[in-house]
């Protein structure tokens, strides 16, 4: 199976699975908002694609307070056993409705990051892009081993 067909199948599978960041934290001095409460453990499952690779789905939650003044949030993480050539797919939901989709590449060291606007200020006018509670689903193509099969 070529990569395009496999990627298309993975993307279709992610859409079918549902319409939350495995280590997404904002740094206090970076101008970013806290995305994942450090005490929250992501929910992760592996969905086998074939005998060698699978789709790892992690779900986490974040909250943007009403009085937020920070403009950026981001999703970041490290994948130890990623399959080269497949991006990380990020889906953000509010009340089970999709509000933002993105994808980002994984570096050679397995690290990925996706930065997104939470607040936009222009000419003394502020627009809140995100406010309230959200769930984030992160999909990664990984090599399977016996410990991570569902």
Give pLDDT, residue 146. Answer: 54
Give pLDDT, residue 67. Answer: 86
- d(CA 53, CA 13) in angstroms, rounded, equals 14
Give pLDDT, residue 147. Answer: 58
Please give the residue range of the domain that contains residue 106: 3-148
* pLDDT, mean of each 10-residue run, the chain (150 residues): 43 32 34 44 86 93 87 88 94 95 94 91 87 93 71
| Total number of domains in the chain | 1
Give pLDDT, residue 134. Answer: 92
Give pLDDT, residue 86. Answer: 95
Say if residue 6 is exposed, middle or buried (CB neighbours under 10 Å; 0-12, 13-18, 19+): middle
The total of other beta-carbon atoms located within 10 Å of residue 8's CB is 11
CATH number at residue 105: 2.60.40
- d(CA 58, CA 72) in angstroms, rounded, equals 21
User: Phi and psi for 28 in degrees, rounded to 5?
Assistant: -55, -30
């Amino acid at each position: 199976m070529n990569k395009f067909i496999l990627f298309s199948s993975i993307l279709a599978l992610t859409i079918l699975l549902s319409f939350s960041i495995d280590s997404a934290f904002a740094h206090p001095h970076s101008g970013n908002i806290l995305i994942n409460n450090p005490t929250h453990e992501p929910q992760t499952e592996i969905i086998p694609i074939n005998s060698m690779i699978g789709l790892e789905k992690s779900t986490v939650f974040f909250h943007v307070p009403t009085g937020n003044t920070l403009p950026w949030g981001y999703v970041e993480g490290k994948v130890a056993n990623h399959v080269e050539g497949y991006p990380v797919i990020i889906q953000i939901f509010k009340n089970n409705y999709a509000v933002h989709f993105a994808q980002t590449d994984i570096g050679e060291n397995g690290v990925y990051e996706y930065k997104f606007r939470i607040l936009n200020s222009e000419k003394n006018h502020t627009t809140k892009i995100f406010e309230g509670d959200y769930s984030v689903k992160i999909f990664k193509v990984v090599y399977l081993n016996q410990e991570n099969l569902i």
